[in-house]
Amino acid sequence: MQCHRIEELIELLKPVWLAHNNLNLAQMLTQLADEAGFDGKLSDLTDDVLIYHLKMRGAAKDAMIPGIQKDCEDDFKSALLKARGIQS
């Protein structure tokens, strides 16, 4: 894992953990995994699942995932032209 991913995860995790300061780290990670719908072993939980869940936690169910929104096109024609290198 790269340093910026560790820093991002800690930055996102800190306010949530402070709000639930009665939990230890394993309990906090288990709670976040359950919220995210992760049903595997805790040892298989990836940093991506945690990061995206923490970023989207509290957002509307139909909210755009951060990182995807910048690539989103309003209509198919614009997306196709952009993919072909033709700007409309």
Number of neighbours of residue 54 by Cβ within 10 angstroms? 20
- For 3-83, CATH number? 1.10.1580.20
pLDDT of residue 1: 52
Q: Where are the domains of the chain?
A: 3-83
Tokens of 38: 């992760």
Alpha-carbon span 22 to 17, nearest angstrom: 9
Contacts with 51 (C-beta within 8 Å, 6 or more apart), sequence order: 5, 8, 9, 12
Q: What's the chain's length in residues? A: 88
Tokens of 3: 């340093």
Alpha-carbon span 86 to 74, nearest angstrom: 16
Low-confidence ranges of the chain (pLDDT < 50): none
